[in-house]
Chains A and B, each alone.
Chain A
Amino acid sequence: MADEIVLLSTWPSMFGNRVRVALAEKGLKYEYKEEDLWNKSPLLLMMNPVHKKIPVLIHNGKPISESMIIVEYIDEVWNHKSPLLPTDPYQRAQARFWADYVDKKLYDIGKKIIWSTKGEQETGKKELIECLKLLEGELGDNPYFGGENFGFVDVSLVTFSCWFHTYESYGNFSIETECPKLVAWTKRCLEKESVSSSLADPHKIHDFASGVRKRLGIE
């Protein structure tokens, strides 16, 4: 029986796009449903009643929520190709640690730069640079966070890269100047079909952010 896979997401979401990257890495076909977060569908509310958020993966009718939990689920179920987590428990723990770090830090810091007052923006900018430099250090001289291969931590972070231009624009700084190795890594990831087909265009993200700022009365 063929697997039925549905993804509820929004095109700019760095969380939703992680799932798209993972599905593409595994070569899986799925139905994509774009959600309007100002007017959530009954399906979304039914499939994620706790958080009412995207992304939600629905596999043969069963929902899974929280992006990195979904990515790990995809990796476990479709373990025949492109493993995202390593096999060694210690390396798996390190991968989970760094994906958790990205989750704890990047979105909230990014919010300070895009949706806040000037004072908070400066703080956000400093924190983002600190955060990205730490991640750059963790990458080291490896092509990917997963080592020789694109992996779990790469998935968790790469979807933020299409938001870099927006952070730079509102924060008035250059991420490439601060973290050249990290930006080189984003370009390397974009050479992969699974990544380039899943990430949004950075300029479209900027327009989107501008639209939300107007809606929130910031711009």
Chain B
Amino acid sequence: MCIKKGISAAIAFARYDQNIMGEEVKLFRTWSSPFALRIVWALRIKGIEYQTVFEDISNKSPSLLQYNPVHRKVPVLLHNGRPIAESLVILEYIDETWKQAPLLPVDPHERAMARFWAKFGDDKVLGSIWSVFIKQGKEQEEAMVPAMENLKFLEEELKGKKFFGGETIGFVDLALGWLANLIGLLEEIVGLKVVDGEKLPLLSAWMQEFGDAPIIKDNWPARDGMILKFQALRDATFAAASK
């Protein structure tokens, strides 16, 4: 109870501090981008007030192109007029700028491990799950092998922990959070179980725990929209492959 009060007080102070300083925090995102969601979660966890600018990827705004000329992607965080791009870079910036509810641990080796797992998620897990999703038949079976291997590493990492961050949601949870939403959706579309509660009990439990956390639960993109979007992406990939 004391900890909760402390966090509430810290959040209230941060809001007060922001209003006095006239800090402007803007997040450029799309309604569905899992990378942008990481930033929404981080800002909410830290109790930071911000404005959202929704982008249409097929018609990017001049602002987005000005603030992220290198990659031209979302998310972009604008803080007092200065842009930061790349979601994991933005998360570190948020953690260093607003010290309440820290996302990264204090110990340098633990910090390095957190960065490692976040990068593993982006470099390997995402691509391997996507491969399973966009393939069929024998190719899909073969794609399941590296995907399962990757998920088993995550399972191992959760041993003795409720979240990747330990007792509370941290950097790695936010980085891997897309799993908690997307896996269920993709499994429904494809009709294939990827995260089996028996084979990956800790990961299954984490997906539930993370997905049910109030800040996370309130911010998932609309389910119907997501199903339509990913079904369309899958169909388009098959169409392109058969040409």
Contact = CB atoms under 8 A, between A and B. Distances in A.
The finding on whether chains A and B are genuine partners in a shared complex, rather than unrelated, reads: yes
Contact of A69 (B79, B90, B96, B112): B112
Interface residues of B, number: 23
A1 interface: no
B11 to A, nearest CB: 19
Interface stretch (B28-36, B114-122, B183-191, B195-203): B114-122
Interface string B206-220: 000000000000000
Contact of A100 (B89, B96, B109): B89
A119 interface: no
Contacts of B119: 66, 69
Contact of B111 (A50, A62, A76, A90): A76
B55 interface: no
Contacts of A89: 93, 96-97
A217 B116 CA distance: 34
B62 interface: no
Nearest to B69: A134
Contact of A93 (B90, B111, B113, B153): B90
Given A66-B116, A69-B116, A101-B70, A77 B93 contact: no
B142 interface: no
Interface string A166-197: 00000000000000000000000000000000
Nearest to B115: A69
Interface string B225-238: 00000000000000
Given A50-B120, A96-B89, A97-B89, A70 B112 contact: yes
A93 B67 CA distance: 14
Interface of B is mostly: helix
B82 interface: yes
A208 interface: no
A73 B109 contact: yes
Nearest to A134: B70
Interface in A18-76: 50, 59, 62, 64-66, 69-70, 72-73, 76
A97 B33 CA distance: 19
A172 B86 CA distance: 34
A92 interface: yes
A83 to B, nearest CB: 14
B137 interface: no
Interface in B118-172: 119-120, 153
B109 A64 contact: yes
Given A64-B116, A69-B116, A101-B70, A92 B108 contact: no
B58 to A, nearest CB: 23
A64 B112 contact: yes
Contacts of A77: 108
Contacts of A96: 86, 89, 92
Interface of A: 50, 59, 62, 64-66, 69-70, 72-73, 76-77, 89-90, 92-94, 96-97, 100-101, 134
Interface of B: 70, 79, 82, 84-86, 88-90, 92-93, 96-97, 108-109, 111-113, 115-116, 119-120, 153
